[in-house]
Structure 1
Amino acid sequence: MTYLEAIVVGAFQGVTELFPVSSLGHSVLIPALVGGRWAHDLDVSSAESPYLAFIVGLHVATAAALLVFFWRDWVRIIGGFFTSIRHRRIQTPAERLAWLIILATIPVGISGLLLEHLFRTVLGKPIPAASFLIANGLVLYVGERLRRKASDPAPASGGGATTVASDVRLSRLTFGRGVLIGSAQILALLPGISRSGVTMVAGLLRGLSHEDAARFSFLLATPVILAAGALKIPDLTGPLGIGIHGPILAGSVASFVSAYLAVRFLTRYFHTRTLTPFAIYCVAAGGASLLWLTLA
């Protein structure tokens, strides 16, 4: 793995993990579309792939960017968890949000342990990834249409709202709805399906605004990504990481910077905008990739 490969893939991963366009799908498609050495070096479906461990390292850098950006939120949420334990209650918005996040991440955690290897080896190839990217675009578009049909509210809070107000709104979700929204992340095990995208759609269909759905999606993603990293990062200290520690570091820095800029952009974007442009991109990019891979 070269430094150029690592930095390009790292930058793409940081952006596409948070934009609702599937980071895993792009991690599979970009090497295949470039071809040559890239396609050989960066094959996520190969047995004992160092590229997979590299991608997980990039995910941890992305999660670190989310922690830095939302650090005040996590201080409140973690504080809410400990006050809930200490007083044996779930009353305040911070306490309810803490338990919502815990309960909502359990299904995807179990599914990841059971299905990640199967989905990666069977479906982690360019043509399935392109097909799922098209499906992701359709999910985003249909989710927007159903949301509009149900109601077409004004933005929930506008640009000047505090995240504390968002905590209050999110804490009104029932635990059942929170688990349902979090369970949507299971679909992101399929390369081409976006974790943030399907989680946002699930949130929109459960009555959240775009702004709150995006924020809840980012909060839910952080512990899941960190947990995956805790399982895979040790691989990078063994035989799979030999000779690529430098590129891993370079790619992780690129991923951190691009993810931080992406979440900063998206938290403002979703004050007033929708998922539709991302839906169009996914269908167009997936369709073009599918044509190129099948006809070239």
Structure 2
Amino acid sequence: MSGLGYLEAIAVGALQGVTELFPVSSLGHAVLIPAIVGGQWATDLNVSRPESPYLAFIVGLHVATAAALLLFFRRDWVRIIGGFVSSLRHRRVETADERLAWLIVLATIPVGISGLALEHLFRTTLGKPAPAAAFLMLNGVVLYVGERLRRVADRQPVLVGADGGESGRTDPDRADARLSEMPLRDGIVIGCAQILALLPGISRSGVTMVAGLGRGLSHEDAARFSFLLATPVILAAGVLKIPDLFGPLGDGIHGQVMAGSVVAFGSAYLAVRFLTRYFHAHTLTPFAIYSVFAGVGALVWLGIH
């Protein structure tokens, strides 16, 4: 890992924290940026290698990103975990917190199973620059088509909390109450969309938001549910591979991992804070345009070089 200095670690950490939550694919950027920079980066920062030290570095960044999500949604997670424990204790699913807790659990199972079964295969066979660029273009198409096909506002169900607050104009408690009223099948469909994010270049937050829009959620609620769903998945993926950081793959990069993780935490926190406000009144279209042009540009660059 001689090619990964502290400056590079900080740059990759900042990129990871932002692109994990922005609907533009963190894994796609993790594959493409080293290839575009070239030199030692292209050699050492290669996630497609079966035993890649770069992957161990990315693992540390994922844990930091999940920590930022947990901090930002800490009050929500206190209620959600409380609802989960309450439902087990009383063997019921009645309150909004209990319903939302089980909605997240059941929506997370498909991607958890798929990740364990397919992550290594997809990363080693498709985690190369050209496929990542192509999937990034596809990500843009999915985001754009999702926006074009989303239900118009006057046809979207307006889920309200007990106080009658409307979608897009409420506090977190009301937002979670709205999400808890989502039919279970819709939550599972949205959760299954995360499986596509195993492909480098396809954004987890992007495809889950598109699925949420397709099930009638507003942009704000679709983004919120996407971030809540992503938290246990990102955290579990990081924790599962944390032992790699203390084995041969982590030799010589502990300091870089720490530096990159601190930056990833900060950038992820700022990103989720920005996006939860952005999607109050904006759409996925700018990210769709970026993804298409970035994918095309990467393919052209790689073809020339």
- Give the TM-score normalised by the residue count of structure 1: 0.97
Root-mean-square deviation (CA, aligned residues, Å) is 1.4
Shift of 1:86: 1.2
Deviations 1:102-141 (A, max 9, x none): 0000000000000000000000000000000000000000
Conservation of the 8 A alpha-carbon contact between 1:119 and 1:190: yes
Partner residue in 1 for 2:138:
135
Give distance in 1, aligned partners of 2:6 and 2:167: 43
Q: Deviation at 1:152?
A: 6.7
Equivalent residue number for residue 54 of structure 1: 57
**Runs of 4+ residues over 2 Å off in structure 1:** 148-159
SS at match of 2:150: helix
Residue number among 150, 157, 162 corresponding to 2:167 in the alignment: 157
- Specify which of 188, 191, 202 is matched with residue 182 of structure 1: 191
Conservation of the 8 A alpha-carbon contact between 2:151 and 2:216: no
Q: Is the 1:14–1:257 Cα contact (8 Å) retained in structure 2? A: yes
1:171 aligns with 2:174: no
Deviation at 1:57, TM superposition (A): 1.1
Partner in structure 1 of residue 281 of structure 2 = 272
Alpha-carbon distance in 2 for matches of 1:138, 1:151: 25
Of 255, 263, 272, 1:263 maps to: 272
Of stretches 149-158 and 166-175 in structure 1, the one that deviates more from structure 2 is 149-158
Scaled by the length of structure 2, the TM-score of the pair is: 0.94
Other-structure match for 1:292: 301
Aligned residue pairs, count: 295
Post-superposition shift, 1:230? 1.6
| Distance (whole Å) between structure 2 residues aligned to residue 270 and residue 100 of structure 1 | 22
Aligned to 1:9: 12
- For 2:295 and 2:107, the matched residues in 1 are separated by 29
Q: Return 5+ residue gaps in structure 1 as ranges.
A: none
CA distance in 2: counterparts of 1:47 and 1:172, whole angstroms:
43
Q: Provide the rounded CA distance (Å) in 1 between the counterparts of 2:66 and 2:239.
A: 12
Does the Cα contact within 8 Å between 2:156 and 2:216 map onto a contact in 1? no
How many Å separate the matches in 1 of 2:151 and 2:157? 11
Contact 2:136 2:201 in 1 (8 A): yes
After superposition, the C-alpha distances for 1:231-276 in whole angstroms (9 at most, x for unaligned) are 1110000110010000000000010000000000000000000000
Does 2:249 match 1:246? no
